[in-house]
Amino acid sequence: MKKQIFGQIGRLKPEKIEEYKDLHAHAWPGVLRTIEDCNLRNYSIFIREDLVFAYFEYIGEDYDRDMEKMAEDPVTQEWWTHTKPCFIKYAMGRDDEFYQDMQQIFYFEGGK
């Protein structure tokens, strides 16, 4: 399958910014293993004030199934009990999400 690229955006509660940064500075090995097992690569999270932007590449065959697999993982579920409370629900038009997927409008992969 061709690589798919994702960008997501979210907002943190001001009082939870440092906690969220610390969690990711000490990411749990089991969570990282699940991310890799679910075919995500080059996962990055950026922050500016309370705005969080995530970037990752998906290299699998069935994104929805891999996301279900991630959601079923007990270590990831425990991780989310620490990370999700850091967020203000941010989804546009939906009140049950913490990240909103963004539309990719430009991509250039150089390298001669």
Distance CA 37, CA 34 (A): 5
Q: What is the mean pLDDT of residues 4-33?
A: 96
Q: What is the tens place of the pLDDT at every residue in 35-93?
A: 999 999 999 999 999 999 999 999 999 999 999 999 999 999 999 999 999 999 765 55
pLDDT value of residue 104: 84
| 16-35: average pLDDT | 97
User: What pLDDT does residue 80 have?
Assistant: 95
Report the candidate in 80, 78, 86 with the shortest Cα–Cα distance to residue 18: 86
Please tell me the predicted confidence (pLDDT) of residue 106.
86
